[in-house]
C-alpha cells in the first residue's frame, strides 16, 4: 500500500484555510521554473482566501476566492489550463458546500469562466443542487461570467494530450483543485473544481461535482475537498466518509482521512484530501506521491509543491 503523507495546520477555533492544487504521479519531473511558478501561484491563491477570513468574511466567501484563483492559474487542472478530453475540448466541473448543509454544483460546463462561481450560483440562486451544462440563459440569469472555449485551452495542455495519445502505454493524469476553510464564527465550507483527466471521453464525470464524493462540509464536524482517482472516490463516497468517521466513529480528522485514503488505495485508487474541522488542526493528506497544497492561519502561510 502506498505511503500516506499527512501534514497538519492551525489549532483551536481560529480561522483557517487549506487549499490543494491536485494530487497524482507527475508524468515528468517539475523544472525549477515549474516549482517557482507553482509556489507563486499557491501564494496568490492562499492570500486571496485568507484575506477574506482576516477581514471577518465567511468560510464560503474564502473558499470561493481561493478556488477562483486556482481556476485562473494555468499551473493547475481547473478553469484556464484544464486538462483536455480526447476530443481536445475542456469540460469543467465544480461543487461547493457550506457547514449548514447548503450545496451547489455544475458539471460539463464549457463556457463558465470560473466554474466555482457557477456552483455557488446553483447553491444560492436555485432550488436544486446539481446542474449539467446549464444554458447560457440560466448563466446570464445567475450573473455568471462566461468565456469562449479557447480561454480554457493552453498550449501546454494541447501538447500533453498529443503526447498522451501517442504513448504506447499512457498513464491517466488527473488533478483537481479545492479549498476548505473555517471562519471566525466557527462555520466551515468546502469547494472543489476540475477539468477531469487527460484524454477522458467527452461526457465523463468524476467525483468533483458530486456532493459527498469530492466535497462535503458540516459545521459540527469537518469540511473536506478531494483530488485523485475520481471513479474510486465516487464509489467510496470519500468526502462524506471522512465526515462519517469523525461524526459516528469519533475518529480525529487525521485518522479518518488516513483510513479513507487506505480504503481508496485498496481499491486501486490514489489521491489526496484536505480537511478543516469545526475545532482543531486541519490536515492535508495524500498517497499519490505528489500533491500541491498550502495553508494560512495565525501562524503564517505555507506552500508545498
* Contact status, residue 122 vs residue 104, Cβ threshold 8 Å: yes
CA distance 128 to 195: 22
Active-site residue, 303 included: no
Per-residue pLDDT averaged across 122-145, rounded? 95
Mean pLDDT for 265-282 is 97
- Residue showing cell 469543467: 92
- Per-residue pLDDT averaged across 8-33, rounded? 89
pLDDT bracket for residue 38 (50, 70, 90):
very high
Q: What pLDDT does residue 169 have?
A: 81
CA 70/CA 74 separation, integer angstroms: 8
- Nearest residue to 34 via CA among 66, 67, 73, 92: 73
Q: By the 8 A CB rule, do 17 and 66 touch?
A: yes
- Whether the CB-CB separation of 171 and 58 falls below 8 Å is answered with no
Helix (H) or strand (E) holding 214: none
User: What is the arithmetic mean of pLDDT over 176-184?
Assistant: 98
- The answer to whether residue 1 scores a pLDDT higher than 80 is no
Q: Which domains does the chain have, with CATH numbers?
A: 5-304 (3.60.20.30)
Compute the mean pLDDT over every residue in the chain, rounded to the nearest whole number.
Answer: 95
Buried b (16+ CB within 10 A) or exposed e, 284-294: bbbbbeebbbb
Q: In sequence order, which residues have a C-beta less than 8 Å from that of residue 50 and are 6 or more positions away?
A: 15, 17, 62, 296, 301
Sheet holding 5-9, edge to edge: 5-9, 282-286, 271-277, 222-228, 215-217
Rounded to an integer, the average pLDDT of 92-105 is 98
For the cut 90, the answer to whether the pLDDT of residue 247 exceeds it is yes
pLDDT band at 170 (very low <50, low <70, confident <90, very high): confident
Where is average pLDDT lowest: 30-34, 61-65, 96-100, 143-147?
30-34
Catalytic residue among 117, 176, 194, 257: 176
- pTM: predicted TM-score of the whole model, two decimal places: 0.96
Structure confidence at residue 27 (pLDDT)? 65
Look at residue 228 in the predicted model and tell me its pLDDT. Answer: 95
Residue 30 pLDDT: 83
Lowest mean pLDDT among 32-41, 53-62, 105-114: 32-41
CB 276 within 8 A of CB 188: yes
Pull the grid cell for residue 171.
Answer: 498513464
Mean pLDDT, rounded, for 238-256? 97
> Does the pLDDT value for residue 70 go beyond 80?
yes
Q: What is the mean pLDDT of residues 223-232?
A: 97
Cell matching residue 66: 481561493
Amino acid at each position: 500500500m502506498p505511503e500516506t503523507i499527512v501534514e497538519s495546520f492551525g489549532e483551536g477555533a481560529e480561522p483557517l484555510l487549506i487549499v490543494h492544487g491536485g494530487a497524482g504521479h507527475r508524468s515528468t519531473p517539475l523544472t525549477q521554473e515549474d516549482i517557482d511558478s507553482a509556489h507563486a501561484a499557491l501564494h496568490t491563491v492562499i492570500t486571496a482566501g485568507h484575506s477574506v477570513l482576516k477581514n471577518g468574511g465567511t468560510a464560503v466567501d474564502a473558499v470561493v476566492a481561493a478556488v477562483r484563483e486556482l481556476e485562473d492559474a494555468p499551473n493547475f487542472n481547473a478553469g484556464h489550463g484544464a486538462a483536455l478530453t480526447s476530443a481536445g475540448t475542456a469540460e469543467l466541473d465544480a461543487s461547493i458546500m457550506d457547514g449548514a448543509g447548503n450545496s451547489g454544483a455544475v458539471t460539463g460546463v464549457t463556457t463558465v469562466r470560473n466554474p466555482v462561481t457557477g456552483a455557488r450560483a446553483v447553491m444560492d440562486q436555485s432550488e436544486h443542487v446539481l446542474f449539467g451544462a446549464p444554458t447560457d440563459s440560466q448563466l446570464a440569469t445567475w450573473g455568471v461570467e462566461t468565456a469562449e472555449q479557447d480561454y480554457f485551452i493552453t498550449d501546454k495542455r494541447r501538447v500533453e494530450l498529443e503526447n498522451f495519445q501517442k504513448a504506447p502505454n499512457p498513464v491517466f493524469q488527473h488533478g483537481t483543485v479545492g479549498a476548505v476553510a473555517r471562519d471566525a464564527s466557527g462555520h466551515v465550507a468546502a469547494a472543489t473544481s476540475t477539468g477531469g483527466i487527460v484524454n477522458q471521453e467527452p461526457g465523463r464525470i468524476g467525483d468533483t461535482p458530486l456532493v459527498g464524493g469530492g466535497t462535503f462540509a458540516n459545521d459540527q464536524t469537518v469540511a473536506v475537498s478531494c483530488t485523485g482517482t475520481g471513479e474510486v472516490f465516487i464509489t467510496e463516497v470519500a468526502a462524506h466518509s471522512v465526515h462519517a468517521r469523525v461524526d459516528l466513529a469519533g475518529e480525529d480528522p487525521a485518522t479518518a482521512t488516513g483510513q479513507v485514503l487506505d480504503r481508496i488505495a485498496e481499491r486501486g485508487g490514489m489521491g489526496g484530501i484536505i480537511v478543516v474541522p469545526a475545532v482543531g488542526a486541519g490536515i492535508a493528506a495524500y498517497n499519490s506521491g505528489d500533491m500541491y497544497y498550502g495553508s494560512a492561519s495565525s501562524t503564517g502561510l505555507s506552500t508545498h509543491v
